[in-house]
């Protein structure tokens, strides 16, 4: 498996008002076709920013705490939650990857150009309306996995540094027989890559 390190303390985002909506341009992940290689995805921001404007902060907090592997950069997060090293997951720690979703996504009428990365985080941050800090560290309830979806850039013979765009993510009920994978994974996705 490819060795990838998390951001150092100096590279981590600075806590402050509005910083939780300033996402990195790209994120590292294991390559869909070979989990021993790494690749990068741009982070699709539009839906997350639209949700935040509508008062739904959870997609941004999940992006920070499960996909990027950092507490959301909001004031008081360290004081209230006492983050521990390596307690959060990041996309590069996915344990399964599927290609093709059984529904349309954006301009992809068949969902064939989408990969799904599956993670099993232990904790994540959720939005809470609180004067001390708006982020609370929460244990993931049993019976759930986290799936992040990326739309691939069509290959054109030219190697690309960025493989596609991470479009959406969220918790999904786990399969009873195979609890490290999403429920109905055999019919939810077309092919398991690893």
Bigger pLDDT: 159 vs 100 = 100
For 4, the token pair is: 């990838």
Q: What integer best gives the mean pLDDT of the chain?
A: 86
Quickly state the pLDDT bin for 63 (edges 50, 70, 90): very high
- Rg over alpha carbons for the chain, rounded to the nearest Å, is 17
Q: Give the residue, 21 or 120, on which the prediction is more confident.
A: 120
Q: How far, CA to CA in Å, does 114 sit from each of 9, 165, 192?
A: 33, 10, 12
Query: How large a percentage of the chain has pLDDT more than 90?
Result: 57
Assign 2 a pLDDT band (cuts: 50, 70, 90): low
Residue 193 has a CB neighbour count (10 Å cut-off) of 18
In the chain, what is the straight-line distance between the N-terminal and C-terminal CA atoms, in Å? 12
pLDDT of residue 190: 94
Q: What is the pLDDT of residue 166?
A: 95
What's the pTM value of the predicted model, to 2 decimals? Answer: 0.84
Q: Say whether pLDDT at 161 is over 90.
A: no
Asked if the model's pLDDT at residue 9 lies above 60, the reply is: no
In DSSP terms, 43 is beta-bridged to 166
Domain segments of the chain: what residues?
24-192
How many helices and strands (H and E) does the chain possess? 4, 9
Please give the share of the chain, as a percent, with pLDDT higher than 70. 84
Sign of CA dihedral 164, 167, 169, 172: negative
pLDDT tens sequence across 27-59 = 999 999 899 999 999 999 888 888 888 889 999
Mean pLDDT of 170-183: 96
Mean pLDDT along residues 109-131:
89
Sign of CA dihedral 78, 83, 89, 92: positive
Rounded distance, CA 93 to CA 121, Å? 10
Closest-CA residue to 20 (of 137, 136, 134): 134
Q: pLDDT tens across 80-111, in order? A: 888 788 899 999 999 999 999 876 555 555 67
| Cβ partners under 8 Å of residue 8, min gap 6 | none
């Amino acid at each position: 498996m490819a060795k990838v390190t998390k951001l150092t303390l100096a590279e981590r985002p600075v806590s402050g008002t509005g910083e939780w909506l300033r996402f990195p341009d790209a994120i590292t992940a294991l390559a869909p076709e070979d989990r021993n290689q790494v690749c990068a995805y741009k982070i699709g921001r539009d839906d997350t920013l639209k949700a935040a404007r509508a008062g739904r902060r959870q997609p941004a907090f999940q992006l920070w705490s499960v996909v990027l592997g950092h507490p959301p950069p909001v004031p008081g997060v360290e004081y209230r939650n006492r983050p521990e090293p390596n307690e959060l997951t990041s996309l590069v720690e996915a344990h399964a990857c599927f290609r093709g979703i059984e529904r349309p996504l954006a301009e992809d009428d068949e969902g064939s150009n989408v990969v799904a990365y599956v993670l099993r985080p232990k904790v994540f941050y959720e939005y809470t309306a609180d004067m001390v800090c708006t982020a609370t560290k929460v244990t993931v309830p049993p019976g759930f996995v986290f799936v992040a979806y990326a739309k691939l850039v069509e290959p054109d013979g030219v190697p690309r540094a960025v493989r596609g765009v991470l479009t959406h993510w969220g918790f999904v009920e786990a399969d009873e027989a195979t609890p490290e994978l999403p429920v109905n994974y055999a019919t939810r996705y077309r092919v398991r890559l690893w």
